[in-house]
Amino acid sequence: MNKADKVHFTINKLAELYPTIPIPLDHKDSYTLLIAVLLSAQSTDVRVNQITPKLFARADNPTDMIKMSIEQIREIIKPVGLSPMKSKGIHGLSHILLDKHGGKVPQSFEALEALPAVGHKTASVVMAQAFDVPAFPVDTHIHRLMYRWGFSNGKSVVQTERDAKRLFPKEKWNDLHLQIIWYGREYCPARGWDLSKDIITKTIGRKSVLKKHNC
C-alpha cells in the first residue's frame, strides 16, 4: 500500500466510523466557542465543558465578560488550569472585540491570532468550527496519530499541520481533524493503547510502531 492508498483508506475508514461529527466543546456561538477553545489549552474537553456553563451563566458575550474582574473570571475557571493567563486573556480579548471588532469574533486568522492568549491552534479551531473556513488544527491526538500512521515525522505540531494539509484534500480538512480526534480518543489513546482494536494503525501504521507492539 503506497502513501496515496493509505490516505484514501484513512479518509474512508474515518468517514465510515464517524459519519456525523460532534464538536467536542459545548458552545452556542463563535464567542463562546473561542472562550471554550482558549480554556482547553493543557486541559481536557470534559473539564472545560464542566466549567463553561458556570462562566457563561455569568457572561456569554464580551460586554458582560468585561463587567467581571480578572479575579472573578479566574475563580470560576481555576479547575481547567493556567487560570492566571487564561483569565487575563479572556478579559483582554473581550475588550478588544468590543473596541476593534464591534463585539464580534473576527473571521480571519490574522485578527484572531492578534487576540490575547489566542494562538494558531485556537484560531484554527474557531475558523473551522465557527466559520467553516478550511483549517487543520493539530492537537495531541492528531500529532500522535499522524506519526503512528506514517504521515508525519512527529517532530513538531507545525510540521504535522503542514503534512496533514499536504496529504488530505482541503475540502475534507474540517471533518478530518475532528474525526481523527474522536478516533484517537476511542481507538488510539496515548495510554492503554490496544493495537488489535486500532484498525487504521494496524493496517497502515509505520513499521517501527507496529514492530514495537509485536504486530
Secondary structure element (H or E) that encloses residue 8, with its range: helix 3-17
132 counts as catalytic: no
List CB contacts of 122: < 8 A, sequence separation 6 or more. 34, 37, 38, 41, 112, 137
CA atoms within 13 A on the CB side of 152: 22
198 in active site: no
User: Which of 45, 139, 175, 198 is labelled catalytic?
Assistant: 139
User: Which amino acid is residue 185, in one-letter code?
Assistant: R
Both ends of the chain: CA-CA distance in Å? 17
From residue 112, alpha-carbon distances to 26, 80, 161, 168 in Å are 20, 22, 18, 24
Contact 91, 68 (CB under 8 A): yes
Say which of 6, 45, 121, 163 is annotated catalytic.
121
Nearest partner of 35 among 1, 84, 77, judged by Cα: 77
Catalytic sites, residue numbers: 121, 139
